[in-house]
């Protein structure tokens, strides 16, 4: 498997080089030169495979021979050594809970897989690799945890000051060692722009080996396909599901669409967005117009220019009509998010986080127009990570799980900075 740049001005590379580089030299995102088709018998008999066997079958074609079979088996086993339960919420909606990993967020899978791949590749390199990542919330904690104490790798995480939850901030600022947090006085788009500037700085890249741990990196993006296969492995209904995904940077839902193209039965995808409605507007009007991100209760989705949407367009050869046949998108307000959390808790005794609430609400809107269908929404983070929102909806406090309670008392260690690229460049050069 080779990967080409979506800007079409860089050489093709294998999985190893795509992972280490993050972005192509022409600043384009890497994309596989073909989408592998999985055997029909594998899909038909998926319940007879362990989740480790499923994950290996899905990811091996993308990795190729860059990682030996034994090491890849170990990486996969270490990546997914927790549960991914599909929980029935009501008669036609199921929740795929993706928050049972170490940082209580779906991004644990991508971060753990990438960190272990990069750790394997770093053994062969003499230079130190610097992972540079922007986060709107959960990416930072997952990357910090996944890369913590990995030899030969330093991690620099940029996050918007005051726009992540207290739990999220503690998860990305308290580890120390090779994890460095930069608190940016701005929004997520400011953080993401700084990261893009760093990758586009030829002088910096001649001195520092930079790679990204955002979902622009193929090793973060591709293993997100696992969620969808794990969901289908537990699906007991007769017809394929509609799947609703809370969407910000669109890496997760893009991986789901990739899984579908590979052979996974899915009836339709729904991108649940918050007030940052670039993609719902595009699907309706046919005009893509990036916007300044606005702050919402579902902060991990506060993205005004989703980087991974270009990969979705590539899958469909930029044909809007073909894309609309498989993808619908809704913009869900904060008011709808709060009322959905309250309604589902009161009526179904099921507690949603704000991102899961957006996906649930979007799924509900779709099913109201498509009677008789059933669907899955992705619950991407534990509700405790967003206490203010959940407590506002329910007027009650929620307990912090023992697995993360200890970090709330640890000292925050972060460097405050303006959204100034020169500051970031100097910081990276001094590492």
Structural domain boundaries in the chain: 83-105+221-394
Q: Model confidence at 200, in pLDDT bands (50, 70, 90)?
A: confident
Predicted local distance difference test score (pLDDT) of residue 315: 98
The predicted-structure confidence for 346-384, as pLDDT tens digits, reads as follows 999 999 999 999 999 999 999 999 999 999 999 999 998
Q: What is the mean pLDDT of residues 128-157?
A: 88
Q: pTM score, two decimals?
A: 0.90
> Maximum Cα–Cα distance for the chain, whole Å?
60
Catalytic residue among 107, 163, 170, 385: 107
Supply the mean pLDDT for the chain: 94
Are 135 and 143 in contact by the 8 Å Cβ rule? The answer is: yes
Q: Model confidence at 414, in pLDDT bands (50, 70, 90)?
A: very high
Residue with more model confidence, 311 or 150: 311
Residue with more model confidence, 119 or 90: 90
Q: Which fold has domain 83-105+221-394?
A: Rossmann fold (3.40.50)
Alpha-carbon Rg for the chain in angstroms: 20
Predicted local distance difference test score (pLDDT) of residue 126: 67
Cα–Cα distance measured from residue 357 to residue 114, given in angstroms and rounded to the nearest whole number? 28
Residue with more model confidence, 84 or 103: 84
User: Can 107 be counted among the known catalytic residues?
Assistant: yes
Above pLDDT 90, what percent of the chain? 79
Structure tokens at 239: 């017809």
Predicted local distance difference test score (pLDDT) of residue 328: 98
Cα–Cα distance measured from residue 313 to residue 254, given in angstroms and rounded to the nearest whole number? 10
């Amino acid at each position: 498997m080779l990967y080409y740049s979506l800007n079409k001005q860089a050489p093709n590379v294998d999985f190893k080089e795509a992972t280490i580089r993050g972005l192509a030299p022409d600043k384009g995102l890497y994309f596989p030169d073909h989408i592998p088709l999985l055997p029909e018998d594998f899909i038909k008999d998926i319940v007879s495979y362990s989740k480790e066997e499923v994950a290996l079958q899905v990811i091996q074609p993308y990795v190729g021979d860059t990682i030996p079979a034994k090491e890849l088996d170990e990486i996969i086993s270490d990546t997914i050594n927790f549960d991914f339960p599909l929980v029935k919420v009501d008669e036609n909606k199921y929740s795929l809970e993706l928050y049972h990993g170490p940082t209580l967020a779906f991004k644990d899978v991508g971060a753990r897989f990438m960190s272990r791949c990069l750790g394997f590749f770093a053994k062969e390199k003499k230079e130190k690799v610097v992972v540079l990542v922007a986060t709107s919330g959960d990416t930072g904690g997952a990357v910090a945890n996944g890369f913590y104490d990995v030899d030969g790798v330093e991690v620099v995480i940029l996050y918007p000051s005051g726009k992540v939850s207290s739990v999220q901030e503690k998860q990305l600022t308290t580890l120390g060692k090779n994890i460095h947090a930069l608190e940016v006085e701005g929004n997520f788009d400011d953080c993401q722009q700084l990261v893009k500037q760093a990758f586009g700085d030829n002088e910096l890249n001649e001195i520092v080996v930079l790679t990204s741990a955002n979902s622009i990196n193929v090793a973060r993006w591709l293993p997100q396909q696992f969620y969808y296969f794990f969901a289908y492995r537990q699906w007991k209904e007769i017809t394929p599901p509609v799947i609703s995904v809370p969407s910000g940077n669109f890496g997760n839902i893009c991986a789901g669409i990739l899984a579908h193209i590979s052979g996974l039965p899915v009836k339709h995808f729904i991108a649940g967005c918050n007030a940052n409605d670039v993609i719902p507007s595009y699907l309706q009007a046919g005009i893509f117009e990036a916007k300044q991100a606005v702050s919402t209760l579902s902060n991990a989705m506060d993205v005004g220019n989703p980087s991974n949407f270009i990969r979705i367009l590539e899958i469909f050869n930029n044909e809007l009509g073909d894309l609309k046949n498989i993808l619908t998108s809704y913009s869900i307000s904060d008011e709808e998010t709060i009322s959905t959390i309250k309604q589902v808790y009161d009526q179904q005794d099921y507690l949603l986080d704000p991102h899961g609430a957006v996906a649930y609400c979007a799924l509900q809107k779709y099913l109201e127009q498509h009677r008789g269908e059933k669907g899955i929404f992705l619950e991407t983070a534990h509700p405790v990570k967003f206490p203010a929102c959940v407590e506002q909806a329910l007027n009650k406090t929620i307990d912090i799980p023992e697995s993360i309670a200890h970090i709330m008392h640890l000292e925050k260690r972060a460097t405050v900075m303006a959204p100034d690229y020169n500051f970031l460049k100097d910081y990276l050069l001094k590492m």
